Structure formats: structure tokens, C-alpha cells
Structure 1
Amino acid sequence: MITSQTGGLGLLGHPAGHSKSPEMMNAALQMMDAPYVYLAFDVTPAVLKQAVEGLKALKFKGWNVTIPHKTSIMEYLDGVAESAREIGAVNTVVYQDGKWTGHNTDGTGYLRSLKEETSLDLSKQRVVILGAGGAARAVGYALATAGVPKVTIANRTLDKADRLAEHLSRWTSTEAIAISDCQDEVREADLVVNTTSVGMFPRINETPIPADWLHHGQIVSDLVYNPRETALLQAAKLKGAQIHCGLGMLVYQAATALELWLDKPVPIQLMKQVLEASLSGNKK
């Protein structure tokens, strides 16, 4: 029940009307008996500063940040956590000890989901990341700090891949290289991660790489969550590979944000169920 004591949490993005976070977050807050409500706000870049000042004035506990504000939000905060600084983007803002601090839970959320669903030993994985954008940076940072020995960044624009590989090479335990033609590297990889939007609804028949490059024994991971099982994952499964879909990352990055805000256990299974039901409703 919403009362005069109910606190605020939310999402800033543009657009924001497509977000499924309110359904997932409010279901979790209700089960946790937490006195907060989670709302989505469509905020254009021109009024981002005013929106942030408004949330601060209204004493929000914190909020999530999505496209196109993940970088520009930083100038309106008191500080940025190491993960967000290294990734170069903020997706969660937390009020603590009188300060507003930006965090990034994307990489953490990805790793938590990957480990839960695959139980793989990251210290022995040869990884190919398809794409070199913000999602690739978050996943690459998480894998490098977890001790993955080799990461190959495959991107059509080699300069962009080079910059990300150079950044990831700062962690001495990880060899990071950049390429544009990744056929041989994909065939040799233990883990292939698609961080691009290829295969996302409604272009569900597209794949970022040919199915013939995949094989039994690999783990193929796709950050796209709509559809849950992309054309890439369907092809990988037919080849005998283990698959990992993007829905888990979406749930765990949200769960990590809730943990930062409330410092208490989060009902992750409920969040998964609500998100799955919400996405299924989209297709009806």
C-alpha cells in the first residue's frame, strides 16, 4: 500500500515507456515489504539536469539510468564507483552517507547470471566478445576482473575494438586482442558473447555470425533478451553448445541495484517470473 511514508525509486531514460523494470521492481519491493515504489520517467537529454535535481529534492533513495543518459549523468553526481568509472557508464545511482554515487551493475549482473546458469570456471575460458559498444565494455570489464585469460573483441570497426582491447589489457591476467574477422577465434573459443543488438525483436531471424562457426562444447551467450532464445542461441543449441540468454543479466543487474539501495536479500526468482510473463505478454 502506498502511504505518505512511501519512498521513491525509479528509472531515467528516453524513451522509457517500453521498460519492464517497473513491473519487476515493484513485485520485488512488495515481496520484500519495502516501503518504496519504482517509477519510470521519460527524460530527454535537455532536461536531465533538472530531473536529477528533482529526484534529489524529492529524496529518492536512488534510481536506474538507461540510454541515452548513462554517461552524461556522471556530471550531476557526487562520485562514481570504480566499476562505473572503468566501464565509462552509470546505470544505478545510490544515495548513501549524504552523497549521490553512480554505480554500474551491468557487468556484475552478467557474471552472476552466467555463473548461475553455466557453472563455468572463468579462469580457464577463451572468450570472444561480438561488438565493442557499451555492453561489450561492461561485459569485458567483468570478465577481465574475474581473471579470464584471453578476450578477443570482434567488431566491424577495428578502431573501436582496439580501444576496448587496450583498456582490458590493463588487467595483467587477461590478454585482450581486437579483430574484425573472427571466424577462427570463434571456432577456438570456449565462450562466445553477443553484445550487439543483432537478433533482437522484430529482426529475430538475424545472427551476428554464421551458425557453422559454432560447435559442441562451447557456451554461447547472447545479451539480447527479446526473444529469449535468439536465432544465434537456437543455432548454437542445434550444434550442441550450451546456451545462455540475456534475460538473466537483466534480472541480476536489477537485483544488484536493489541490493545497493536496500541492503537486504532480493527475490530473484520472482523477478525472473515477472519479467518472463511481461515479455510473453508483449508477443500476444
Structure 2
Amino acid sequence: MTNQITGVNGPITGWLDGHTYLIGLMAYPIRHSMSPTMHNNAFAKLGLNYTYLCFEIGNDKLASAVDAIRTLDMRGSNVSMPNKKEVIKYLDKLSPASEMCDAVNTIVNDQGVLTGYTTDGIGFVQALKAEGIEIKDKIITLTGAGGAATPIAVQSALDGAKEIKMFNIQDDKWAQAEKNVQTIQEKTACKVSLTDLSNQAAFKQAIAESDIYCDATSVGMKPLEDKTLVSDPSWFHKEMVVFDTVYAPRTTKLMEVAQAAGVEHIFNGIGMMIEQGAASFKLWTGQDMPTDYIREIMFTDK
């Protein structure tokens, strides 16, 4: 017998019984997250006996929350701000990418052994791969040094990017950007540099020399939806990729500038969001998330 579960997109079919595996999302605040809708619909589509729930957990409750993963024999959990770095001290093992990023967004529980992973960078790489674009041997200009930019830089380097030209303002993320450069240089063969974003001449030249430009900042998202770090279409060339990690609004100011330049490959962050979730899904279940189905029910404009 199955139960009917009603989500934001209507009823979905799944199981909730004595054998259901529990997966969580631990962050604060987190009630706005679309992850439960994505994962629970994917579980139901594949007939998997899992359920995914949000838990508003900050650093003050994180130790006991992670202990609960073991105690309750949860299959695992996603982790978001402000816990991505703090959670590391409570885990048993880290993936190579998580070690390099010094951050975790996915925990997998294998019989009480908790391993931390970061799937955000995988999401970026896989979103491009789904469009027939490979990271290997590409030159990338990347803006930002925070929770999205760091795993994007690390995973791109691990997957064979030729060069990453990083740009950021000298804010509280600058030290993290410097650490990213050092880590990538030590652990991979990728050439990497960091330049102050105020150096607009260097920024323009970097984009001109790149195969991919990725904006991994919050510029373009509310309340900055009318802003973009690149406002001149002449900075772009038609054959390149322009990727904005923002997905609300669907078409950002950066994307409009790229469209005006005639850029052939322009993407928002929806694909990255789905693919990072799919990577976590695979770690927990061993199965591929039905990403086309998830995109259709969650992101197709009605």
C-alpha cells in the first residue's frame, strides 16, 4: 500500500512506513528551500522508500544534530549555511573536493561512518556536460569566492580545466579566494590566478581570453536583480559560455548582456541546482535522479 503525498506541484506517490529511510537538510534559515520538493518527487518517481525533511539547525545545535544522524540511522543529510564549514569537525571522513573546499554540503551515513562531500562544483560541471560542454582544457573566468565559487573552482580544476582566472572584490571573502588559489595550485595541474575585481582592464582581458565566464556572486539576485558585473556586450565573444549561478530571476541582467552580444551558450543556475542535488541523490541512493522530470515539474514556466 502506498501513501499519497501532496507537494507544491500536486500529489506525488511514495512510501512512508517502518522501512522508510530519512534524509535531512540542516541549515538556518531553510524553510524556503526547494530541495525537499526536488528530492521527494524524485524518490516518488523512482519508487524509492526515502523521505527528505528540512531541519532549522544553526551552529549552536549542529553537534547534536549530526549525532542524531548516527543515532536515528538516517541515510544522510544536506548541509547549508551557516554549517558548511562547522560540520567538518563532527564527521569521520571527507571527499577530496570537500578537503580542498574546506566545506561540506552532503553527508552520507554508512553504518555510523559519516563522510562529507561537496556537490556544488559537480553541479556546475554536470550542468555544462548536460549541454554538451566539457570543462577539460577550458579557460574559465570566475567571479566570486564564496559558497558557490569555491567548489566551482575546485571541481573545475579537478576535472581538468586548463586555467581559472578568479576575480573578487577585497572583502571578507578575499582570504578564502587566496586560499583557493593556493589549494588548487598544490593539488592540481590547473593554472590559477586571483585579481581584484576593481582592475576592470584585467577583467575585460580575462573574459576575452576565456572559453567560459561564470558569475558565482549574488549580483543579479534580489535585491540586486538590475545589476551585473559585465554591462558591455563587447566584452563577450559569441563562441563562449556565459553562466550565471543565479536562477531567480530566470533571465538575469548578465544573461541579457550576453544575449545582446550574440553569445551562443547562456545558462542560469537552474541546471547547477538540479545537478548538485542529483549528485547528492546518487550518493544516498545509488541511483540517478530523473533530472528531466524534476526540471519539468519544478522549473518549466507555466
Per the TM superposition, whether the score is higher than 0.5 is yes
Deviation for aligned residue 1:160:
4.7
User: 2:266 is matched with which residue?
Assistant: 243
Q: Quick one: distance in 2 between partners of 1:127 and 1:244?
A: 15
The amino acid of 1:151's aligned partner reads: I
Contact kept in structure 2, 1:23 and 1:274, CA below 8 Å: no
User: 1:134 is matched with which residue?
Assistant: 147
The amino acid of 2:83's aligned partner reads: H
Contact kept in structure 1, 2:101 and 2:180, CA below 8 Å: no
Check if 1:177 corresponds to 2:199. no
- 1:119-178: per-residue Cα shift (whole Å, max 9, x none)? 234333221001122321101111111111111001112655433222222245311111
The amino acid of 1:238's aligned partner reads: A
- 1:224-243: per-residue Cα shift (whole Å, max 9, x none)? 11112211012102211121
- Larger relative contact order, structure 1 or 2 (CA cutoff 8 Å, min sep 6): 1
User: 1:11 is matched with which residue?
Assistant: 25
SS in 2 for 1:37: strand
User: 1:144 is matched with which residue?
Assistant: 157
User: 1:276 is matched with which residue?
Assistant: 299
Q: Quick one: distance in 1 between partners of 2:98 and 2:66?
A: 18
The amino acid of 1:148's aligned partner reads: A
Identity %: 30
Provide the alpha-carbon RMSD of the alignment.
1.7
Q: Quick one: distance in 2 between partners of 1:32 and 1:38?
A: 14
Check if 1:211 corresponds to 2:232. yes
Change in CA separation of 1:8 and 1:97 when aligned onto 2, cut-off 3 Å: closer
The one of 59, 62, 73 equivalent to 2:73 is 59
Change in CA separation of 1:162 and 1:275 when aligned onto 2, cut-off 3 Å: same
Q: Quick one: distance in 1 between partners of 2:295 and 2:111?
A: 31
SS in 2 for 1:124: coil
Contact kept in structure 2, 1:153 and 1:164, CA below 8 Å: no
TM-score (normalised: structure 1): 0.92
- 1:78-103: per-residue Cα shift (whole Å, max 9, x none)? 11111111111100000114411111
Q: Which runs of 4+ in 1 moved over 4 A?
A: none
TM-score (normalised: structure 2): 0.87
The equivalences for 1:18-167 within 5 A come to 18-117=32-131, 119-157=132-170, 160-167=176-183
Contact kept in structure 2, 1:24 and 1:274, CA below 8 Å: no
State the number of aligned residues.
278
User: 1:266 is matched with which residue?
Assistant: 289
Structure 2 regions of 5+ residues with no counterpart?
A: 4-15
